[in-house]
Structure 1
Amino acid sequence: MLKLKYLFNNLDLTEMILKNWHFDQSSMEMFKYYRISSNAIYPFQCNGETRLLRYAPKSEKRKSNIQAELEFISYLRDNHYGVLEPIQSNHGEELVEVATPWGEYYATVFKRVPGMQINHTECSDDIIFSYGKALGKLHHLSSQYKTHKIRRWSYVDVLVWVEDVLRRFPGQEAALNEIKILENFFSSIPKSERNFGLVHYDFEFDNVFYDEETNSCYVIDFDDAMYHWYAMDIVQALDDLQECTPIELFHQKKECFINGYLTEYDIPNNLNELMIACRRFAKLYGYARIQRSIGEKWGNEPDWLVTLRGKLEYRLKEDVASFGTAL
């Protein structure tokens, strides 16, 4: 999540950045459908085709991570995996660095993928099967992936970043202890090409689109990808599935998801062992991101920001209560 000061809808900034690409001037009306969280996302059109501008301040991102993300996406596309397509800028770049009156930004543009977000479908057994199949295929391709340029960060780098962030804030003893618990646990789990590799990390309903014409899924938003156990993606996908499924149907939908996954890749033998640790990793990482995001405060904040800050502060209190227990 970006720092709160970057969540404001800045149309002048967006237009300045977008001018690095070709676009239909009239489509700037689509900016009203923007979304800002880990990045600012603004839809627009070029020759009538919908595209998405994604940008974030340089201070919020690692250039090497974005470069590695784009390289992995290219690899997936080369292997016929349903994934978003980057669009080169007017100067032939997929990643553009932009200087603006509001600071320096990293920006990319992607074509909109076909289909509909899974959370907007009827979530039939066939769709959930396809959802699981897409994750299995992603992990199969990841297990064969060898980066040629820049390596994406790993869960180890994330924990180092989390510690660096939390040491800037008082009263973080429980969270800092949680880091050590997770470090010790993960260091005891064997890694292999079969169970460990580059994961999506946010393989949830809103990042996976189901295309009815091809009966297949397209995946977006690799911004949080990292090297981790494949169990990390499985756990988060199943947890999201459980949240979006009536209790009486979850077992059936879970079986559809697993069956789809197994058509492309094997479920890790130590999945159950990793599930709790992976959930706690996600909670700790999210906790640090929120803590960093809300670290600054200003007088006379707009109502929407006051409300958001309150929700985030409440979540921090909930999360910290679960830290520190043995695995």
Structure 2
Amino acid sequence: MQLCLVQPDTILDENITEVQCEDWGRALASLHQLSRVYEPFSTKRSNWQDIPWKTDAMLQRYPDEQEAIEELGKLTERLQLLPISNSNYGLIHYDFQLDNIFYEENNRSFSVIDFDDAVYSWYAHDIVTALDDFLGDDMNLDNSQVKSFLKGYCSEIPLGNEDINQFPFFQRLMKLYRFSKLLWSLEGSNVTDAPEWLDDTKLKFARVRDDLRRGFESNAE
């Protein structure tokens, strides 16, 4: 199966089937195979270190978020020690989630959009980012949809224990980045006579922010 750039006929959601998950994983592996030989014509994209840098820039505006700042420091040091090779590192999509892929039922292929966030990082990082909605906070690799995705991916590119052991680090980085963006989104959001939908959105963002913060506090214990 190969990546396809034609008019899609199916937009997938959280009810994606196991067969579709397998095709989804296979499609991401196909993209990574292309990345291994891709050479940019002009300026290269930034690399993964831009993510902790942007996160740190935001967190420094909130010195009371000490647990998150410490978590970022420890995690960045750990990621800098990960091995880099042509087989495990390259240009990744970084947002290969269901709202950016469209399924062709007839030939079991995908159209892919939104390469705006593409960055040089580990391919395992791309896998975790794609599966964010399915892994859960406990990095549940036994989830049937996750297992099917990884089965499809491994049919094209084998994943070793070293790759899989990296998953939690990338999930932690995602949480920190999301936390910093939520801090920014809620900053100055106290608008007079705000519409009801805005208040509901602020409450939702605040709940997610607080859940993430408790996770950083637990890591610091």
With structure 2 as the length reference, what TM-score do the two structures score? 0.85
Percent of aligned positions that are identical: 31
Write out the 4+ residue segments of structure 1 that deviate beyond 4 Å after TM superposition.
none
Give the aligned partner of residue 81 of structure 2.
188
Segments of 5+ residues of structure 1 without an aligned counterpart are: 1-79, 85-112
* TM-aligned CA distance change 1:135 to 1:286, over 3 Å: same
Cα distance between partner residues in 1 of 2:79 and 2:63: 27
Give the aligned partner of residue 294 of structure 1.
186
Cα distance between partner residues in 2 of 1:268 and 1:223: 29
Give the aligned partner of residue 3 of structure 2.
81
Please state if 1:115 is matched with 2:37. no
* TM-aligned CA distance change 1:309 to 1:125, over 3 Å: closer
The count of aligned residue pairs is: 213
Please state if 1:179 is matched with 2:101. no
What secondary structure, in the 3-state scheme, does the structure 1 residue paired with 2:28 have? helix
Give the aligned partner of residue 32 of structure 2.
139
Give matches, 1:227-238, under 5 Å. 227-238=120-131
- Counterpart amino acid of residue 276 in structure 1: P
Give the aligned partner of residue 215 of structure 1.
108
- Counterpart amino acid of residue 118 in structure 2: A
Cα distance between partner residues in 1 of 2:134 and 2:9: 19
* TM-aligned CA distance change 1:311 to 1:117, over 3 Å: same
More strand by share: 1
With structure 1 as the length reference, what TM-score do the two structures score? 0.59
Give matches, 1:8-157, under 5 Å. 81-83=3-5, 113-119=7-13, 123-157=16-50
Deviation at 1:193, TM superposition (A): 1.2
Cα distance between partner residues in 2 of 1:272 and 1:134: 18
What secondary structure, in the 3-state scheme, does the structure 1 residue paired with 2:40 have? coil
Max Rg structure? 1
Deviation at 1:161, TM superposition (A): 1.1
The answer to which structure, 1 or 2, has the higher relative contact order (CA under 8 A, 6+ apart) is 2
Segments of 5+ residues of structure 2 without an aligned counterpart are: none
Deviation at 1:271, TM superposition (A): 2.3
- Counterpart amino acid of residue 290 in structure 1: L
Cα distance between partner residues in 1 of 2:195 and 2:210: 23
Deviation track 1:255-290 (CA, whole Å, cap 9, x = no partner) reads 432232123223254123211111110000111111
More helix by share: 2
After alignment, is 149-158 or 179-188 more displaced?
149-158
Deviation at 1:131, TM superposition (A): 0.9
Deviation track 1:107-139 (CA, whole Å, cap 9, x = no partner) reads xxxxxx41212227x634432221111011011
